[in-house]
A and B are shown apart, each in its own frame.
Chain A
């Protein structure tokens, strides 16, 4: 299933997470996966201008379809923010922003 998803090149219009897909914001420490879509549109409390900006910000720092992610660390209050391994680099972000990234979890 992973393999199949990784072929996916174009961003998909995904309104709600389909089966097997979760938002990066719902992932827990130790979870690994692959980015399937970066589309912050319609997530809680994010306006449309803001979501377009957030999409580009996420893309520029390397959250792009096909990138491998792993949750490395969680903050000590409310498990927020999270530190993520993103391909070869490490990125810290809040769960609020992480809602815009959809991933498939891969087996351990």
Chain B
């Protein structure tokens, strides 16, 4: 008679300082499969994964935002505090805390653990990055540490999945012991209590940790170059320049392949599906629409590859250091550099990562200017116009002119973001600057698997978007630009008679001063759903208008004047052509006021910039 042993399900939460390897440990524990959602009421990302422990328990793991203290100052840290204290509505408290520590940097995390212990939660300590600690010859007396902290201690190398069995075994043992939750004695510590806990952490370190025999000298040497007032700035500029040149040169073969594949697919449809609505929907609506957006996937992946690589290497904090004074001049926090840099990929993660900024005003300013940074959804639009109107040649022998124009557009976005931030501060709040205090993590060799996983995750998010919003927008546009049908024998292209034609013609007088024709006006309307949709919309509008699908860039270079093209680029630097960004701003700020202000100021800037560009360019 083998009655199955009843096992209770177990909920774990990972807590630790920023950069201690929580996310890596989360992936090692759960195999990287995570359920990503938001905490109720706030937009802090909630990442949960599942596994089965050796003892057969169904375990759920929650990855909490990194923090130095439970004394929360930002929404991120509030989530960590509330989950740990079991105060979060709709969130049952974890059964066990897994404290994640960077074994090479124990002081602050030990202090945090002392604070965590006051909550009365059973906990186990994962001494992560033990590989680096061993390389440096840091001698840690694990039994002593475990005794002093009063919790099991396990060593792990999260990126190599080492120590995971030991960690799970310790978790099972602790769960078997049915460790009771104590009563939480935690309260926000006073300055004196923080000093006391520091002293206690110091005492434990003296007992259990011998300083490194071969301390990491690389970080200091690399910093001498990367934080140097001259070479540091030059290298930062060089990295940004390389990044954008790479986005253009490396991606070309893959892009040619993708666009070739979609053309082939479209030709097959035209060949096999009889003439009519269905053929038109498939070839002109779905395939050419989605294809013209998907073709930018390689560029987006290259951009994220750089961002993730630099982040894992530890460079992002250095970039924040170098940029702080410039950002500070615009009234932004040095930390805003990271959200703004993420906004180069997409304003939505950028706006959401502004949560790392503790101060409400700094955070709001960052949110308000984030959409001015050139997000990857603009890349399709920019690339299209650049490839149609800017000659592909080298200037000064080695710089790709198209890449140079692209860089100029990025710079224009970044500079205007700083200028707008400055004006915002002057209009809305004139208080003192907020504190800028930030750890500079030791440099680390980026882990290839980790980088690949994150790049793929970003690609997947983009594809999901292409598969849902963009596909449905494409079908809608195809519908708008096909129905009502052109009456038999009527003159002009069919689209003139459709709904899209009507909207375009109606908007066109408003846009005439900035040089936009009605096809562009048509493309702008669905382009509100997402910027890159405008490319698909133009393809659809022109493909149908011409009655023959052709190379969009060639079509545009025949149909648009150069001033119109430049004006369109200027418009796209500023225009709030992204409904999801506005929705996220509403959610993040919890008020309609901010997305409305954002929409109004961005559309005003777009119109003015396009007007000036068109009028000036027309004079030449």
**What residues of A have a CB within 8 angstroms of the CB of B224 in the complex?**
73
A80 CA to B215 CA, complexed, in Å: 28
Check: B503 CB closer than 8 A to any chain A CB.
no
Interface residues of B in 306-356 (CB under 8 A from A): 317, 320-322, 324-326, 328, 334
**What residues of A have a CB within 8 angstroms of the CB of B199 in the complex?**
9
**What residues of B have a CB within 8 angstroms of the CB of A76 in the complex?**
229-230, 232-233, 322, 325
**What residues of A have a CB within 8 angstroms of the CB of B433 in the complex?**
94, 96
Check: A64 CB closer than 8 A to any chain B CB.
yes
**What residues of B have a CB within 8 angstroms of the CB of A77 in the complex?**
325-326
Task: Give the Cβ gap from B334 to chain A, nearest Cβ, in Å.
Answer: 7
Let me know if A80 and B325 touch, CB within 8 A: yes
A59 touching B233 in the complex, CB below 8 Å, given contacts A83-B223, A88-B107: no
Let me know if B432 and A81 touch, CB within 8 A: no
Let me know if A61 and B439 touch, CB within 8 A: yes
A46 CA to B432 CA, complexed, in Å: 8
Check: B438 CB closer than 8 A to any chain A CB.
yes
Task: Give the Cβ gap from B192 to chain A, nearest Cβ, in Å.
Answer: 8
**What residues of A have a CB within 8 angstroms of the CB of B257 in the complex?**
none
Q: Which listed residue (A75, A91, A96) contacts B440, Cβ 8 A? A: A91
Check: B57 CB closer than 8 A to any chain A CB.
no
A41 CA to B333 CA, complexed, in Å: 22
Check: B198 CB closer than 8 A to any chain A CB.
yes
Q: Mark A79-95, 1 if CB is under 8 A from B, else 0.
A: 01101000111111110
Interface residues of B in 228-247 (CB under 8 A from A): 228-230, 232-233
Check: B412 CB closer than 8 A to any chain A CB.
no
Let me know if A93 and B436 touch, CB within 8 A: yes
Main secondary structure on chain A at its contact with chain B?
mixed
**What residues of B have a CB within 8 angstroms of the CB of A50 in the complex?**
432
Check: B69 CB closer than 8 A to any chain A CB.
yes
**What residues of A have a CB within 8 angstroms of the CB of B211 in the complex?**
88
Check: A56 CB closer than 8 A to any chain B CB.
yes
Let me know if B436 and A94 touch, CB within 8 A: yes
Let me know if A97 and B437 touch, CB within 8 A: yes
Check: B191 CB closer than 8 A to any chain A CB.
yes
**What residues of A have a CB within 8 angstroms of the CB of B219 in the complex?**
90
Check: A58 CB closer than 8 A to any chain B CB.
yes
Check: B422 CB closer than 8 A to any chain A CB.
no
Residue with the highest number of chain B CB atoms closer than 10 Å, among A9, A61, A94: A94
Check: A31 CB closer than 8 A to any chain B CB.
no
Let me know if B191 and A90 touch, CB within 8 A: no
**What residues of B have a CB within 8 angstroms of the CB of A94 in the complex?**
324, 328, 433, 435-437
A92 CA to B325 CA, complexed, in Å: 12
Let me know if B107 and A90 touch, CB within 8 A: no
Q: Nearest chain-A residue to B324 (Cβ)? A: A81
Check: A72 CB closer than 8 A to any chain B CB.
yes
A59 touching B317 in the complex, CB below 8 Å, given contacts A87-B107, A93-B436: no
A56 touching B324 in the complex, CB below 8 Å, given contacts A91-B437, A91-B439, A93-B438: no
Number of interface residues of A (CB under 8 A): 39
Interface residues on B, range: 35 or more
Q: Which listed residue (A52, A61, A74, A75) contacts B191, Cβ 8 A? A: A52
Q: Which listed residue (A11, A55, A90, A93) contacts B223, Cβ 8 A? A: A90
Check: A78 CB closer than 8 A to any chain B CB.
yes
**What residues of B have a CB within 8 angstroms of the CB of A87 in the complex?**
107
Let me know if B68 and A61 touch, CB within 8 A: yes
A91 CA to B334 CA, complexed, in Å: 13
**What residues of B have a CB within 8 angstroms of the CB of A11 in the complex?**
191, 195
Q: Nearest chain-A residue to B115 (Cβ)? A: A60
A75 touching B439 in the complex, CB below 8 Å, given contacts A52-B191, A90-B219, A90-B223: no
**What residues of A have a CB within 8 angstroms of the CB of B223 in the complex?**
72-73, 83, 90
Let me know if B440 and A92 touch, CB within 8 A: yes
A77 CA to B326 CA, complexed, in Å: 8
Let me know if B194 and A81 touch, CB within 8 A: no
Interface residues of B in 175-195 (CB under 8 A from A): 189-191, 194-195
A38 CA to B192 CA, complexed, in Å: 11
Check: A28 CB closer than 8 A to any chain B CB.
no
Check: B220 CB closer than 8 A to any chain A CB.
yes
Let me know if B230 and A83 touch, CB within 8 A: no
Check: A62 CB closer than 8 A to any chain B CB.
yes
Q: Which listed residue (B194, B220, B317, B442) contacts A60, Cβ 8 A? A: B194
Interface residues of A in 18-50 (CB under 8 A from B): 38, 45-46, 50
A60 CA to B232 CA, complexed, in Å: 28
Q: Which listed residue (B189, B227, B324, B438) contacts A72, Cβ 8 A? A: B227
**What residues of B have a CB within 8 angstroms of the CB of A80 in the complex?**
324-325
**What residues of B have a CB within 8 angstroms of the CB of A57 in the complex?**
73, 435, 437
Q: Nearest chain-B residue to A73 (Cβ)? A: B227
Task: Give the Cβ gap from B267 to chain A, nearest Cβ, in Å.
Answer: 56
Let me know if B438 and A75 touch, CB within 8 A: no
A101 CA to B68 CA, complexed, in Å: 19
Let me know if A64 and B439 touch, CB within 8 A: no
Let me know if B440 and A83 touch, CB within 8 A: yes
A65 touching B195 in the complex, CB below 8 Å, given contacts A72-B223, A73-B227, A81-B334: yes
A61 CA to B190 CA, complexed, in Å: 15
A58 CA to B438 CA, complexed, in Å: 10
Interface residues of B in 423-448 (CB under 8 A from A): 432-433, 435-442
Q: Mark B59-93, 1 if CB is under 8 A from A, else 0.
A: 00000000011010100000000000000000000
Check: B108 CB closer than 8 A to any chain A CB.
yes
A75 CA to B228 CA, complexed, in Å: 8
Q: Nearest chain-B residue to A44 (Cβ)? A: B432
**What residues of A have a CB within 8 angstroms of the CB of B230 in the complex?**
76
11 further interface pairs, Cβ-Cβ under 8 Å (given A75-B324, A80-B324, A80-B325): A55-B191, A56-B191, A76-B232, A78-B325, A83-B227, A83-B321, A83-B440, A88-B215, A92-B320, A94-B437, A97-B437
Return 30 A-B CB contacts under 8 Å, by A number. A56-B191, A56-B194, A57-B435, A60-B71, A61-B108, A61-B439, A62-B108, A64-B195, A64-B198, A65-B195, A66-B202, A72-B223, A73-B227, A75-B321, A76-B230, A76-B233, A76-B322, A77-B325, A81-B321, A81-B324, A83-B227, A83-B440, A88-B107, A89-B440, A90-B440, A92-B321, A92-B324, A92-B334, A92-B437, A97-B436
- Nearest 10 interchain pairs by C-beta: A76-B229, A90-B440, A77-B325, A73-B227, A59-B194, A93-B437, A64-B198, A92-B321, A60-B68, A94-B436
